[in-house]
Structure 1
């Protein structure tokens, strides 16, 4: 609680957190939250994990579709992103994202203890979703991954580049390694323009220290894949220049899950949910159908297939 008379904590955009839905993480940082609540009793909880340098606002279409199916959808801007506090798009340990996600999920579970929980993750949010589910493998009814970060792109992960990144990380961790090239986000020019003009997105260079955290997350995922047994849906475009599709293929082939599905979009770019209109619509249908199929039978509160 702020001390009496102290100025309220404000978001990076200058809005007092008293006026914004938020949680406070274990480091005392305020994280901006969004909630999409159905009119009637919810049938399940769905947590959305957004990608690097963006925020949870652009997931409104997916969330609205799920809300229409009586699902309670929730999300937050990761620390250092969007309207949340924290060093911009930088984190001391990737585990912070997972810890914060579990905190938010636990909060919602405490309010709705009998509901199944799903996670939807895109890009870096896909890596967060995978590691969050790996931490508590029995807790989730299913995980939906849209172009997840499972492997570093070969061009950025050559042995020499990795060696140089590690060296530079020790010397100048704040050095920029370049920004995300927005032209690879979507084949829909309007979506690229929306991304470029969204002031809540981070458009500056990503730091080497952040790149090292992404590499560490990818290494951890690779070790976890053989033991992944929870249900998952993978959606990936085969022209994705930002998250290598080979990571999704490797996860699909090498995980021990018996309930898994992969759909590859020919020519699809990175943000499939914002790609060409027919692809974006197909993604919405895949996500909503898959989650609906994994809901427990309404007549019983017992989880199915466990």
Structure 2
């Protein structure tokens, strides 16, 4: 609790958290949250997990579509992202993202104990989603992944570069590498402009320390894949320069799950949900229909009191 008379904590944009929906994580940092509540009693909970350097605002279209299907959708800006506290695009351990996700899931589960829970994750949010579901496999009814970060891009993860990154991380952890080239986000120029002009997105360079955390997460996913038995949907563009399609193919081929689907979009870029209009529409339909198909039969009935 703040000291009496202390100024309220404010978001990086200067808005007091008393005016923003938020949770406080285990490190005492305020995380900005969004909720999309359906008019009728919800049939399931869906947790949306955004990618590196972005925030949960641009997922409004997917969330609205899911809300129309009587699903209660929730999301937060990760530590160091968007309207949440924390050093921008830096985290002491990738596990913080997973821990915070489980905290938010547990909060929503305590409010709606009988509802199945799904996760929708994009890019780095896909990596967070995979590891979150691996930590609590029985908690989730399914995971939908849009261009997830499963492996580091082979060009950036040669043994020499990995070795150099680890050396640099000891010597110069705050050294910045190149920033995300926004032209690879989408084939739709309007979407690239929207990404570039969104002040809540991080437009700076990636630190060596953050890159090392991503490498560690990818290595952990590779170890976890042989034990994945929960249902999953993978949507991936074959021209994605930011999260290579080989990662999704490797996960699809090697996960023992009996309920898995991989859909590849020819020529698709990274943010498929914001790619060319027909691709974006297909992604919305795939995600919503896959989740509704995976609802337990009992949730099709009106909820009991």
Compute the TM-score of the two structures, normalised by the length of structure 2: 0.98
Please say if residues 43 and 300 of structure 2, whose CA atoms lie closer than 8 Å, have aligned partners that are also in contact: no
1:1-306 maps to which residues of 2 (within 5 A)? 1-298=1-298
Please say if residues 32 and 77 of structure 2, whose CA atoms lie closer than 8 Å, have aligned partners that are also in contact: yes
C-alpha distance in 1, partners of 2:44/2:300?
Answer: 13
C-alpha distance in 1, partners of 2:172/2:182?
Answer: 26
C-alpha distance in 2, partners of 1:185/1:97?
Answer: 22
Q: In 2 relative to 1, CA 41–98 (structure 1 residues): closer, same or farther, beyond 3 Å? A: same
Q: In 2 relative to 1, CA 6–299 (structure 1 residues): closer, same or farther, beyond 3 Å? A: closer
The aligned counterpart of 1:304 is none
Quote how far apart the aligned CAs of 1:299 are: 6.4
C-alpha distance in 2, partners of 1:178/1:28?
Answer: 31
Quote how far apart the aligned CAs of 1:103 are: 0.1
C-alpha distance in 2, partners of 1:114/1:144?
Answer: 21
Q: Which runs of 4+ in 1 moved over 6 A?
A: none
Compute the TM-score of the two structures, normalised by the length of structure 1: 0.97
Quote how far apart the aligned CAs of 1:160 are: 1.0
C-alpha distance in 1, partners of 2:77/2:71?
Answer: 20
C-alpha distance in 2, partners of 1:80/1:173?
Answer: 16
C-alpha distance in 2, partners of 1:298/1:168?
Answer: 54
Q: In 2 relative to 1, CA 147–59 (structure 1 residues): closer, same or farther, beyond 3 Å? A: same
C-alpha distance in 2, partners of 1:267/1:244?
Answer: 13
C-alpha distance in 1, partners of 2:48/2:58?
Answer: 11
Task: Tell me the secondary structure at the aligned position of residue 239 of structure 2.
Answer: coil
Task: Tell me the secondary structure at the aligned position of residue 103 of structure 1.
Answer: helix
C-alpha distance in 1, partners of 2:82/2:178?
Answer: 19
Q: In 2 relative to 1, CA 42–7 (structure 1 residues): closer, same or farther, beyond 3 Å? A: same
The answer for unaligned runs of 5 or more in structure 1 is: 302-306
Quote how far apart the aligned CAs of 1:174 are: 0.1
Please say if residues 54 and 81 of structure 2, whose CA atoms lie closer than 8 Å, have aligned partners that are also in contact: yes
The answer for unaligned runs of 5 or more in structure 2 is: none
Quote how far apart the aligned CAs of 1:300 are: 7.5
Task: Tell me the secondary structure at the aligned position of residue 286 of structure 2.
Answer: helix
Aligned positions, number:
301
C-alpha distance in 2, partners of 1:226/1:164?
Answer: 29
Aligned CA RMSD, in angstroms, stands at: 0.8
C-alpha distance in 2, partners of 1:222/1:210?
Answer: 19
